[in-house]
Amino acid sequence: MNTQSGISVIIAVHNSAGMLDACLLALSKSTLAPLECLVVDDASTDDTEAVAERHGARLIVLDQRSGPARARNLGALQARGDVLLFMDADVCLHDDAMARIMDHLRQDSSLDAVIGAYDDAPAAAGFVSQYRNLLHCFTHRAGRRDASTFWSGCGAIRKEVFSRHGGFDLRYTRPAIEDVEFGVRLKAAGGRISLDPAIQAQHLKCWTFAGMLKTDVFDRAIPWTLMSLRARSMPNDLAVRLSQRLSVLLTFLMIATMWLESAAVAIGCAAFFLVLNRSFYGFLSARHGILFAMRAVPLHLLFYFYSGVGFLLGAALHLVSTKQAPLSQVHGEEAP
């Protein structure tokens, strides 16, 4: 397939027709029109196909659900543009986002990829949804501009680079960290990824506490830990910044000292935790007021607690797999 100059938008979707409708509507208002929009329907049973066709998107329909990694790879194979913009179906891109992306890639030929961030106005109104989506927004805003990984919620990459590095790992058969893993691979090979928080998208996702816990432990903490330990690298960036690792440690220390009835130590840990995360609470307060920020503290503590549990589970799984793996795999000779 001949490659043309321009952006191919690739959206992998499973049973999210309503959000996809909003996503494609926002895309149609972009100040820079994409060359094409490919919707890869990962075996949906709702009206996803009809929504994609109504908006004039190129539709790729999979007969069997296989996860966003394979769906996005298939979209990339059929894309005509020399730049691939991966988006989740539950985001609404700001109208200037694609123009900003192309500015980055045109002005710096050594740049391989550029990622954006969620805006600070998530659509879902519930407390848990606002907290979780704003946490993601804050994490990206605080991230290093020379990013350590990729993000497929709103991330663009040169097609040639994506193909050369093998695309997303098909071993991730459900939504997890396939984009993070690809970014780590790209960086390890000397690639460059830029984070520009001015490239924004509104997140539409409605979170429940149970859904947040399941996602953060099983689709984030455990696979991220396994990936980091296998690569023997954990960069001080995004969700694994040093301040966040310290927050996990402080949360466990608080619980341990409370159980041991060491009130003074527990209070000291709590105070240190609040100081360490003061920028985030200030961000929440500016967005929703001080009462919202105060309500978020217990949820934030819980977030770090179960993320720490996920890390321990991931470390245990890594230890077991290392003991069982052949020597060549232990030494990192296994193909990515």
Both 64 and 147 in a single domain? yes
> How many other C-beta atoms lie within 10 A of the C-beta of residue 289?
11
Exposed e or buried b for every residue in 50-77, given b needs 16+ CB within 10 A? ebbeebebbbbebeebbbbbbbbbbbbe
Q: Quick one: pLDDT at residue 241? A: 65
Task: Write down which residue in 206, 227, 249 finishes a domain.
Answer: 206
What residues contact 81, with CB distance under 8 A and at least 6 apart? Answer: 3, 4, 5, 6, 7, 8, 34, 35, 36, 159
Both 151 and 252 in a single domain? no
Q: Quick one: pLDDT at residue 67? A: 95
Domain count, the chain: 2
- Domain hosting residue 302, numbered range: 238-330
Question: Does 120 fall in a domain?
Answer: yes
From the number of C-beta atoms within 10 Å of its C-beta (0-12, 13-18, 19+), residue 5 rates as exposed
pLDDT tens for the 336 residues of the chain, in order: 678 889 999 999 999 999 999 999 999 999 999 999 999 999 999 999 999 999 999 999 999 999 999 999 999 999 999 999 999 999 999 999 999 999 999 999 999 999 999 999 999 999 999 999 999 999 999 888 999 899 999 999 999 999 999 999 999 999 999 999 999 999 999 999 999 999 999 999 999 999 999 999 999 999 989 988 887 766 655 555 677 888 999 998 988 887 777 888 889 999 999 999 999 999 999 999 999 999 999 999 999 999 999 999 999 998 888 766 553 343 333 332
**Which residue, chain included where needed, has tokens 């996990």?**
248
| Residue 163: C-alpha distances to residues 15, 77, 83 (Å) | 28, 8, 11
Question: Does 39 fall in a domain?
Answer: yes
Pairing of strands 58-61, 36-41: parallel
Asked if 194 and 96 count as a contact pair (C-beta separation under 8 A), the reply is no
Separation of CA 201 from chain center:
13
What CATH number corresponds to the domain at position 65? 3.90.550.10
CA-nearest of 200, 203, 156 to 30 is: 200
64 Rama sector, left if φ>0, alpha if ψ -120 to 50, beta otherwise = beta
Question: Does 151 fall in a domain?
Answer: yes
Q: In degrees to the nearest 10, what's the CA dihedral of 236, 242, 245, 247?
A: -140
> How many other C-beta atoms lie within 10 A of the C-beta of residue 248?
21
Question: Does 232 fall in a domain?
Answer: no
Both 149 and 280 in a single domain? no
Task: Write down which residue in 166, 190, 206 finishes a domain.
Answer: 206
Q: Quick one: pLDDT at residue 235? A: 62
- DSSP string of 1-42, one letter each residue: ---EEEEEEEEEESS-HHHHHHHHHHHTT-SS--SEEEEEE-
Question: Does 217 fall in a domain?
Answer: no
Q: What is the largest CA-CA distance in the chain?
A: 69
Q: Quick one: pLDDT at residue 2? A: 74
Taken in order 193, 195, 138, 272, is the CA torsion positive or negative? positive
Question: Does 309 fall in a domain?
Answer: yes
Q: Which amino acid is at 311?
A: F
Both 283 and 144 in a single domain? no
C-alpha–C-alpha distance, residues 77 and 55, integer Å: 22
- DSSP string of 152-171, one letter each residue: SSEEEEEHHHHHHTT-S-TT
Question: Does 77 fall in a domain?
Answer: yes
Both 291 and 147 in a single domain? no
Exposed e or buried b for every residue in 85-121, given b needs 16+ CB within 10 A? bbbbbbbbbbeebbebbbeebeeeeebbbbbbbbbbe
Both 74 and 152 in a single domain? yes
Question: Does 335 fall in a domain?
Answer: no
Both 48 and 159 in a single domain? yes
